[in-house]
Amino acid sequence: MELHISLHGSKGLAEQLYRQLRDGIDSGRLAAGTQLPPTRLLAEQLGVSRKTVAEAYSRLTYDNLLSGQVGKGTFITPAPTRAATPTPDIPLASAATLARWRSRASLMKDLAASTLRYDFIGGASSKAQFPFDDWRRCNQYALRQIRQGSARYAAHQGLPELREAIARHIAFARGVRCASQDVLVCNGAQQALDLLARVLIEPGCRVAMEDPGYTPARQLFLAQGADLQYVPVDDQGMCVEQIADGTRLIYVTPSHQFPLGMPMSPARREALLERAAALGAIVIEDDYDSEFRYQGRPTDSLQSMDRHGLVAYVGTFSKTLLPELRLGYAIVPPALLEALCIAKQLSDWHTPTLNQWALARFISEGSLLKHIRRVHEVYAARRERILQRLHGDLAPWFEVIPATAGYHLSALAKGDLDIQFVIDMARKVEVGLYALAPFYAQAPVRQGLLLGFGAIDLLDIDPALDRLRDTLQSLG
């Protein structure tokens, strides 16, 4: 690949070359450590004399921007600072739009940067339990499939083999009623939510969601211009009777309410479906981690109870496998399918086929179910230990919200405990804790903690909670 240089005329060529290379280095377009072409080769590419190139290189070397390495070539030298990309010096017509997007910053944006010794982060899975050898074998299979196929884009809806595997899996694991033609493969559940929002929400239309609720979904709906109604929850889930007239879309987490954790009762599920039918509203059922169940009988998904084709079921493999894989799906009512496929095409055309082939193989050979059973035991042990501590020496400060699924627990603070101060103090002793408060929009905030146990080892739980207890005792 040739270095992009554009020279004009036949005079001052060395100066032109020097300026263009210097601008590229100062702006960061030519990064530190980049090797430049030899003088003879660049001269041939540009149609100039070798002396012209050598003169420009010499000036840049004198400016400490280039350095020569014997036997290797000429390289751009690192510099402490480079000139920043200039900002527009005139008001942007899009300034208000950009400001609105900046206001959508998610409270979860910095969670990946945590380096604490003990971390009760929610939504993160246990990488130590991931079957890397099995996944590597499935990726090798995927490469063979791609090699044998034609060099073309794949179907927007997803590979037929993966859609069939997903349909069989969720029918077995969650009782979802669907066929492969109902499945839309996405880059994680977040893209599924984004596509549904794109095709269903117009500025000013009413959307109902739980309060407290999943903040990225809230910010996504607001970014599309939704008139959000924040519906409170109680011990049976969303208070369905409060969903306003004129609602077009309802977002809910019925199997494991996010973030509090209780399941929606059967009566409330029936009421929600009846209310959606009366409104003609689509219901998004975000079933993000209910494959991990620890007690009681499994509850039916809303989708399996739906008699009118109003429920869009959203699932993810970020919780059962790894978030980095970015693999999710939606089970789409027939009325929505064509529009969503068009939105998917316009968004990114299709999810990478390498991961799709690998996941299809991983599911079809039984590796996914085997992995879920294995990590279920791991998560169950961690959950039990946290519950023992919350019901034991931490009971003076916290009350656990009953939850039967998932891999996080929520604990409400007792008395006038300052949760944010506790979180700040815990970080000083290398314990990562997370408050419930940021998930509330309008409902009265219930102070407490969201305790994720997907990423913390069992042997780390007691030392971490010992430090939390000691911190609480020191606060009196």
pLDDT at 297: 73
Q: Are 39 and 53 in contact (CB under 8 A)?
A: yes
pLDDT at 111: 53
- Selection from 192, 241, 243 nearest residue 214 by Cα: 192
Task: Give alpha helix (H) positions in 237-327.
Answer: 266-279, 302-305
Rounded CA separation 272/129 (Å): 37
- Selection from 422, 337, 421, 321 nearest residue 375 by Cα: 321
Q: Are 100 and 106 in contact (CB under 8 A)?
A: no
Rounded CA separation 437/422 (Å): 13
> Which residue in this structure is represented by tokens 């693999």?
327
Positive or negative torsion for Cα 146, 148, 149, 150: positive
Token couple for 353: 């086929």
Q: Are 199 and 193 in contact (CB under 8 A)?
A: no
Rounded CA separation 328/198 (Å): 17
Q: Is 97 exposed, middle or buried (0-12, 13-18, 19+ CB in 10 A)?
A: exposed
Rounded CA separation 441/207 (Å): 14
Provide the 3-class DSSP secondary structure of residue 450. Answer: strand
What domains, with CATH codes, occur in the chain? Answer: 13-76 (1.10.10.10), 111-126+370-474 (3.90.1150.10), 130-366 (3.40.640.10)
- Selection from 8, 6, 43 nearest residue 23 by Cα: 6
* Run of H or E residues at 180: none
pLDDT at 85: 59
pLDDT at 113: 57
pLDDT at 310: 97
Q: Are 465 and 428 in contact (CB under 8 A)?
A: no
Could you give the count of Cα atoms lying within 13 Å of 443 in the half-sphere of its Cβ? 22
Q: Are 291 and 372 in contact (CB under 8 A)?
A: yes
Q: Tell me which residues of the chain have a pLDDT lower than 50.
A: none
Is the peptide bond prior to 463 cis by the omega test (within 30 degrees of 0)? no
Could you give the count of Cα atoms lying within 13 Å of 450 in the half-sphere of its Cβ? 26
Per-residue pLDDT tens over the stretch 66-111: 998 888 889 999 866 555 556 677 889 999 888 888 887 655 555 5
Is the peptide bond prior to 259 cis by the omega test (within 30 degrees of 0)? yes
Per-residue pLDDT tens over the stretch 230-242: 999 999 999 999 9
pTM of structure: 0.84
- Selection from 302, 314, 312, 189 nearest residue 248 by Cα: 312
- Selection from 295, 455, 461 nearest residue 394 by Cα: 461
- Selection from 217, 465, 182 nearest residue 338 by Cα: 182
Rounded CA separation 284/221 (Å): 12
pLDDT at 200: 97
Q: Are 32 and 74 in contact (CB under 8 A)?
A: no
- Selection from 121, 189, 24, 5 nearest residue 409 by Cα: 121
Q: Are 330 and 339 in contact (CB under 8 A)?
A: no
pLDDT at 89: 77
